[in-house]
Amino acid sequence: MKIAVIALGKIGLPLAVQFASKGHEVVGVDVNAELVGQINRAIEPFPGEAHLQEKLSELVPAGALRATTDYADAVPGADAVVLVVPLFVDDEARPDFGWMDAATEELGRHLTAGTLVSYETTLPVGTTRNRWKPMLEKGSGLVEGTEFHLVFSPERVLTGRVFEDLRKYPKLIGGLSAAGAARATEFYESVLDFDERPDLVRPNGVWDLGSAEASELAKLAETTYRDVNIGLANQFARYAATAGIDVYQVIEASNSQPYSHIHQPGIAVGGHCIPVYPRLYLWNDPEASVVRAARDANAAMPDYTIGLLEGAHGDLTGASVVVLGAAYRGGVKETAFSGVFAAVAALRARGATALVHDPMFTDEELRALGFEPYHLGDKVDAAVVQANHGEYAALGPDDLPGISTFVDGRRVSSPENWPGVTYRVIGKA
């Protein structure tokens, strides 16, 4: 098949590589000319994705994968087009379709008969049918369901392990017609491999959910569940700390029963997915009080954690405090919705001098984000762990000279690592 992948970001590029690795001709489209050039030179544009560089080094020289900024070069005559263009959401749960609209309009102008179009970007329920279908029909002059087919098939992977996750999880699809769903099933079965999953109710593979709307809701539901679960864990943690209870023992005990799956509390919920998709769900269902309460609870955790620091350390006015971790989670060079922003704001509001350390970011990159960089070995009064980078598990007082208070927002360390230092963790008195 000839396949076009639109948007070659941290999900789109691994998808394009996966498709090409199955013997198909893949052309990726991106508006970033520099990124396109890197891909065509077989250079991984964002290090950290397992196996991506080795696959690029094999597929690009072989002619199986190339990139372009020109839709006219990639889309006409394609058997399938997969879009993974970002969708942004503001704090009021309003989606900003700007980038996706532009990509869809451009796709419509070049769409030819016989093409399967699959959107993988997480969307509010109803978007595929009510927004993308009329835009594509208007731009192309073609009729969906007969001259081209449109489906929604959400990406379900984490950056850093995309190829592993593509094998591990069922590929969900939902079409606007039975014929479109059949085309999508055939397509994804030809470009993906699936691990055996005896734990699943049906064999791992392509799962047709019966409609685009069901597929859209499935992605929102699985991610919103995680946000609500973490919000509940954070509520338990905040209460446990007031009652002299170790919430981690409570969670471990509760989860020993097979119907309990309580997640871990922490300083923040970040990334492109968990803090964002509940807002898309709220856009569909503004009366979802449970979802809204969990989102509010999680958004409040950075300020709560800095409050823990203030309670343990005392007045923070003039104190030098380092936030350990700019990334939203350990091992990933990405700051989307990271708790670092709210943590630094909370420190500054209390009169502290906020510094930021992250082994994955240069000083220049941290300054560009609005932070003052910190270097291990420099004097500091206190520290707060924001990202669970592996390096932070081995830190001790010698690494942060002068430290008197350490708040472990991710439970990566232990009191034994901090002799003579006041150690606090979320969920324990």
Is the model's pLDDT at 377 over the cut of 80?
yes
* Average pLDDT over every residue of 233-253: 97
Q: Which pLDDT score, from 0 to 100, does residue 272 have?
A: 85
pLDDT tens for each residue of 44-65: 999 889 999 999 999 999 999 9
Local structure of 366: helix, strand or coil: helix
The more confidently predicted of residues 91 and 259 is 259
Alpha carbon distances (Å) from 34 to 42, 50, 207, 369: 13, 22, 37, 21
Cα–Cα distance, 121 to 252 (Å, whole number): 35
Strands ordered across the beta sheet of 320-324: 353-357, 320-324, 382-385, 405-408, 422-425
The region, left, alpha or beta by phi > 0 then psi within -120 to 50, assigned to residue 377 is: left
Give the pLDDT confidence score for residue 94 in this predicted structure. 85
pTM: 0.92
What pLDDT, on a 0 to 100 scale, did the predictor assign at position 48? 85
To which H or E segment does residue 89 belong? strand 88-89
92 pLDDT higher than 80: no
Which pLDDT band holds residue 152 (cuts at 50, 70, 90)? Answer: very high
At residue 377, what is the residue type? G
Predicted confidence at residue 47, as pLDDT, reads: 85
The pLDDT of residue 90 = 74
The closest alpha carbon to 345, from 380, 376, 384, 292, belongs to 384
Can you tell me the mean pLDDT for 255-280?
Answer: 95
State residue 66's pLDDT score: 98
- Domains, the chain, ranges and CATH? 2-210 (3.40.50.720), 225-429 (3.40.50.720)
Percent of the residues in the chain that have a pLDDT greater than 90, as a whole number: 96
**For residue 36, what are the contacts with CB-CB under 8 A and spacing of at least 6?**
8, 28, 30, 67, 68, 69
Residue 91 pLDDT class (50, 70, 90 cuts): low
Least confident of 63-72, 119-128, 200-209, 329-338: 329-338
